[in-house]
Amino acid sequence: GLVEISSPQGMAAEASSAAVILTSSHLGFALSTTHVATGSILGSGLGRRGAEVRWGVAARMVLAWFITLPAAGLVGAACFFVGNGIGGYPGVALVFGVLVALTIWMIRHSRKTAVHAGNVNEDWDADATPAASVPVAAKV
């Protein structure tokens, strides 16, 4: 995780997240609930004596935030221009097909390094060997 917290810090993080999100919603501001919750967890964890922040994890999170917003905009723009350029149902079908193919690729790729209850809190290491596959029962 980002910082070790106990129950009181968890409650403080949840309460502050709720207050910020509800206030922002009431005032009509847009925000990222993920960013709010992360900031609340970081702040409540730092409020405890002897707290240690995993700054490497925090830096990767901030980098991901800076990458995802422009990337989402570029993907949205590309989908619009391709779909609009072809036009009609064929354009929509092509964009849909590409997005489905990318989704399938991401799912297959993610299964090579499965995240499960045993390793979810471990530090990420890009050079680590892939985790063993964990079978998951299908829910009906």
Is-contact 57 123, C-beta < 8 A? yes
Planar angle of CA 73, 32, 13, nearest 5 degrees: 155
Point out the least confidently predicted range of 21-30, 33-42, 69-78, 119-128. Answer: 119-128
Q: Is 79 exposed, middle or buried (0-12, 13-18, 19+ CB in 10 A)?
A: middle
Looking at the predicted structure, is the pLDDT value of residue 56 above 70?
yes
Count the helices and strands in the chain (H runs, E runs): 4, 0
H or E stretch including 16? helix 7-27
Distance of CA 64 to the CA centre of its chain: 9
Q: So what's the pLDDT on residue 137?
A: 62
pLDDT band per the 50, 70, 90 thresholds, residue 57: confident
What is the pTM for the complete model shown? Answer: 0.57
Q: So what's the pLDDT on residue 127?
A: 58
Name the residue ranges covered by the structural domains of the chain. Answer: 1-53, 70-114
Spatial neighbors of 42 by CB under 8 A, at least 6 apart, are: 2, 3, 53, 58
Looking at the predicted structure, is the pLDDT value of residue 83 above 80?
yes
